[in-house]
Structure 1
Amino acid sequence: MSATISDVARAAGVSKSTVSRVLNTRGEVDVVTATRVREVIAGLGYVPRSGAVHLARGTSHALGMLIPSLTWPWMGEVLQGVADEAESAGYGLLLFTSAGGPSSMAHFTTQVSARAFDGLLVIVPEGGLDPVTEMRQGGMPVVLIDDHGHHRPTLPSVATTNQTGGMSAAARLHTCGRRRPLVITGPARFGCVRDRLKGFTDILPPTLVCEGEFTWETGRTAVERALAQDCDFDAVFAHNDLIAAGAMSALRAVGRSVPDDVAVVGFDDLPMARHTEPPLTTVRQPMRAMGSAAAGMLLARLRGTPLPDEPQIIPTELVVRESA
């Protein structure tokens, strides 16, 4: 079993608060006592938790961020927006993923219990909303970066206009004279997928809807399946840019021209969207702005400003390029 702050205090013959002051380099502890405490820490191999190191000052001066995975294509943009705000305010950033499932969440929960950070930003992992809600109820300031349509009045959030984004994609295809769209979605369990599909179908009824993952392979296989079924489509609305790139690859493989034969619209506006062949018309998600706004909201809360009851909405934007 690893040593605790109580073990250090007992071996050094001082109180836990004295150990804490030594860890925080507070000047109230005399040199002899401080030296003895440090010798005991070294001898016991005590590794202080972040919460213990900062106990005397009452704050870690760090933000925590929980995300499902670092591999999501737009995650870097969100993280950059958060990091910019945190750095400008003099805060550090502790990043946690749930990629390891229950073991990842268990480790993360120990960091929450240790108060290793002052507030938490969350892109909610699957099955992670209830634990995050409990953390907020336990006193941890929490702000969601809400790309998947998780709306709870008890959890402040920054969100975007997925339904309006779907409408703008449909309106663009309609303007281009397309009336028989193939829609390739992500998993229907995500609120953003349902919102994008509803916005699109309110404007332009699909010829066929194919559900898949947010991957290049989903776009390729969906187009191949539609062609095998003799589906007569003149447009593709893909629920992210990776799906759109896969769809364009499948169309190119069978000699279909984009946009002459089939117009294609994606969603996200990843950097790759400017470099597909042809460059991709897409709906821009303001991911960096969402990260920045969420971090700013959380930092304001730590300075005493109450968190808002309603989500802060940052709108999507249609970016027109050659594919439509």
Structure 2
Amino acid sequence: MRDYSNRSAGRPTLEEVAARAGVGRGTVSRVVNGSAQVSPKARKAVQDAIDELGYVPNRAARALVTQRTDSIALVVFESGERFFAEPFFGRIVQSVSSVLVARNLQMVLMIAQAPEERRQLEGYLTRQHVDGALLLSVHGDDPLPAMLEERGVPTVRAGRPAHPEPVSFVDADNRGGARAAVLYLRDQGRRCIATITGPMDTAPGVARYQGYRDVVGDGPAAAGDFGEISGAMAMEWLLTNHPSLDAVFAASDMMASGALRVLRRSGRRVPEDVAVIGFDDSVIARHTDPPLTSVYQPVEQMGQEMVRLLLAKLDGEEPVERETVLPTRLILRGSA
């Protein structure tokens, strides 16, 4: 049983934590603020004292002194339905959250797709409610990332912007990963390779289609939205209009899952008649029938790198990299 008898009667102070830990007030402050400039021994002593006393930092008081809110916005430009359905979002949110928690920072998750949601979002982000913003699934030439930087809100986005802008970004090598997948299909003797694309107003959608075209050129293509239903509908269209196809590269595992369902219903064997490759290497890939060959992208590392770049901006480190592109690789399973 936990002993609470040694706690002070009132709210514990920074000075009481310092006295209990046997360190200076400045050392306690550095530990609370997530600074790396503290020895492991001192950090443990402070954490033990914080646990014993039940100390909770006064964020309001700190904000007045530091002009920081200790809050970071993670903004997703998709519908709530899609956010909760696609594994990518859950993986990257968990990654971002774990890094922020280690720095004693709060994550403010915001989902904004409708016009009214966008207006509220812009007002919230530019009124000093957060110290910076991480942006996911930005569509097309959205002016928001550049506008936030211009208004003094440090920003990092996932995905390469369509045109140069003063915002740092982190991306996976979507084009290279797609190219490797389609080259593998061609090297396996597949001669009519189709693709199911992602949304063409998103960086991954465009880059993965470009990787396909690097190998096939203007091959059979059907548009999807990264979701399972769109993958199934696209597969039906491809079978109707290109019945001789013998391979499909889908720009997401969820679309590949929908395609597998249609192929099975139509009597096409996978991979004997039609090989299928997805993209993401999500948990879905390991549970399809047959298990899905997929392009792995380091989602967790992407989230960590986004936070690292944003915190470097907040800490005034120069120069901060404008772009980071992480490698992908093909994971072979039973579908191709």
Shift of the 229–111 alpha-carbon distance from structure 1 to 2, 3 Å rule, reads closer
For the pair 1:180 / 2:176, whether they are aligned, the reply is: no
Relative distance call for 1:141 and 1:307 in structure 2 (3 A) is farther
CA deviations 1:291-320 (Å, max 9, x no partner) are 110001111222221353531111122111
Would you say the 8 A contact 1:181–1:205 is kept in 2?
Answer: no
Is 1:297–1:307's contact at 8 Å kept on the other side of the alignment? no
Are 1:259 and 2:268 matched, yes or no?
no
The aligned residue for residue 35 of structure 2 is: none
Identify if the C-alpha distance between structure 1 residues 299 and 309 changes in structure 2 by more than 3 Å, giving closer, same or farther.
Answer: closer
Is 1:90 aligned to 2:99, yes or no?
Answer: no
189, 195, 198: which one pairs with 2:207?
A: 195
Does structure 1 conserve the Cα–Cα contact (< 8 Å) formed by 2:71 and 2:107? yes
Aligned in 2, Cα 1:190/1:110: closer, same or farther, shift over 3 Å? closer
Give the structure, 1 or 2, with the largest relative contact order (CA under 8 Å, sep 6 or more). Answer: 1
* Same amino acid, percent of matched pairs: 30
The 5 A counterparts of 1:156-167 are: 156-167=168-179
Following TM superposition, where does structure 1 have runs of at least 4 consecutive aligned residues deviating by more than 6 angstroms?
50-53
Residue of structure 1 equivalent to 2:143: 130
Please tell me whether the aligned partners of residues 72 and 105 of structure 2 are also in contact (alpha carbons under 8 angstroms).
yes
1:107 alignment partner, SS class? helix
Name the CA distance, whole Å, in 2 between partners of 1:121 and 1:256.
Answer: 43
1:152 aligns with 2:161: no
Change (3 A) 1:193 1:149: farther
The alpha carbon displacement at 1:26 in A equals 11
What does residue range 161-240 of structure 1 map to in structure 2 within 5 Å?
Answer: 161-205=173-217, 207-229=219-241, 231-240=243-252
What's the RMSD between the two structures over aligned residues? Answer: 2.4
Deviations 1:141-169 (A, max 9, x none): 111111x6445341111111111011111
Amino acid at match of 1:194: V
Q: How many residues align?
A: 276
Structure 2 match to 1:66: 75
Among 97, 100, 114, the residue aligned to 2:127: 114
Structure 1, 214-223 or 280-289: larger mean CA deviation: 214-223
**Contact kept? 1:179, 1:204, Cα under 8 Å:** no
Where structure 1 has 5 or more consecutive residues not aligned to the other structure, the ranges are 1-24, 28-49
Once residues 52 and 88 of structure 1 are traced to their aligned partners in structure 2, the CA distance between those partners, rounded to angstroms, is 21
CA distance in 1, matches of 2:163, 2:299: 17
- Give TM-score scaled by structure 2 length: 0.75
TM-score (norm 1): 0.78
Q: Return the letter of the residue paired with 1:308.
A: V
**Distance in structure 2 (CA, Å) of the matches to 1:26 and 1:151:** 48
> Is the 1:279–1:322 Cα contact (8 Å) retained in structure 2?
yes
- Give the 3 Å change call, closer, same or farther, for CA 184–113 of structure 1 in structure 2: closer
Q: Is the 8 A contact 2:138 2:202 kept in 1?
A: no
| CA distance 1:124–1:219, shift in 2 (3 Å) | closer
Residue identity matched to 2:73: G
Measure the CA separation in 2 of the matches of 1:98 and 1:76. 16
Name the CA distance, whole Å, in 2 between partners of 1:307 and 1:67.
27
Q: Distance in 1 between matches of 2:137 and 2:266?
A: 39
- C-alpha contact (below 8 Å) 1:82/1:295 kept by paired residues: yes
Q: SS in structure 1 opposite 2:190?
A: coil
Counterpart amino acid of residue 206 in structure 2: R
Matched, 1:298 2:310: yes
SS across alignment from 2:64:
coil
Q: Secondary structure at the match of 1:94?
A: strand
